[in-house]
């Protein structure tokens, strides 16, 4: 069993097999590390140290360099995320229109802060720079396996209602 991700050995090996086509295509192409990491994250949901080590073995890039790239860019996650990823916009329009109050409501309702996942693994909260929906500020987007849904003109009450509805469906 993988100590970091908890997967059984057979699943652990199978998971990295899913990365093989990506490494085949980009593994020897100079400057493709970010593309490889993006694909790995798309497959596994985050970049585990085991995945980083595997990419290192297959590309010859040192794990420290891969880790450095993965930790430099905010788009990469090194921990598993919840079933629903809440992306709360903290751009200027959202900030001016109360994004901090929306974050406070999420924190109160789910007992998590930016970058944390609920104990039941249902939600992860990530504050983001801008979602590009300034006319709907304050805005949050919730990603799940079913797709993405954007919620705008939020209030503390409306965000708690959205979260409660998702919890009820889970």
At what angle are helices 49-59 and 9-26 packed, to 10 degrees?
40
In tens, the pLDDT along 116-165 reads: 999 999 999 999 999 999 999 999 999 998 899 999 999 999 999 999 99
Q: Are 102 and 65 in contact (CB under 8 A)?
A: no
Decide if 7 is inside a domain.
no
DSSP 6-44: ---HHHHHHHHHHHHHHHHHHTTSTT-HHHHHHHHHHHH
Residue 84: strand pairing partners: 123
Which pair of structure tokens corresponds to residue 112?
A: 């998590």
Same domain for 113 and 36: no
Same domain for 66 and 114: no
Cis peptide before 138 (omega within 30 of 0): yes
In tens, the pLDDT along 41-84 reads: 999 889 999 999 999 999 999 999 999 999 998 789 998 899 99
Which residues define the annotated binding site for [2Fe-2S] cluster? 89, 94, 130, 134
Q: Are 163 and 106 in contact (CB under 8 A)?
A: yes
Same domain for 112 and 48: no
Decide if 77 is inside a domain.
no
Decide if 10 is inside a domain.
no
Same domain for 163 and 106: yes
In tens, the pLDDT along 76-120 reads: 999 889 999 999 999 999 999 999 999 999 999 999 999 899 999
**Which residues 6+ apart lie within 8 Å of 22 measured at CB?**
35, 36, 39, 40, 43
Decide if 109 is inside a domain.
yes
Note the pLDDT of residue 170: 85
Which residue range forms the structural domain that includes residue 136? Answer: 84-169
Which residues define the annotated binding site? 89, 94, 130, 134
- List the CATH number of the domain containing 95: 3.40.30.10
Same domain for 88 and 164: yes
The closest of 87, 59, 93, 91 to 159, measured between CA atoms, is 87
Structural domains in the chain (count): 2
Q: Kindly report whether the global pTM for this prediction surpasses the value 0.85.
A: no
CA dihedral 146, 149, 154, 160 (to 10 degrees): 0
């Amino acid at each position: 069993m993988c100590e970091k991700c908890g997967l059984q050995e057979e699943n652990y090996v199978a998971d990295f097999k899913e990365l093989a086509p990506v490494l085949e295509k980009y593994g020897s192409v100079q400057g493709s590390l970010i593309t490889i990491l993006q694909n790995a994250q798309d497959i596994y949901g985050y970049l585990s140290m085991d995945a980083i080590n595997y990419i290192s073995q297959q590309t010859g890039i040192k794990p420290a360099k891969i880790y450095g790239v993965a930790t430099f860019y905010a788009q990469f996650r090194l921990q598993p995320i919840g079933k629903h990823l809440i992306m709360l916009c903290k751009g200027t329009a959202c900030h001016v229109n109360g994004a901090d109050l929306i974050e406070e409501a999420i924190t109160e309702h789910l007992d998590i802060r930016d970058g944390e996942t609920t104990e039941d693994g249902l939600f992860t909260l990530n504050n983001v720079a801008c979602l590009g929906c300034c006319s709907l500020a304050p805005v949050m987007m919730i990603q799940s396996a079913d797709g993405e849904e954007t919620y705008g003109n939020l209030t503390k009450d409306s965000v708690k209602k959205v979260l409660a509805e998702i919890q009820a469906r889970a």
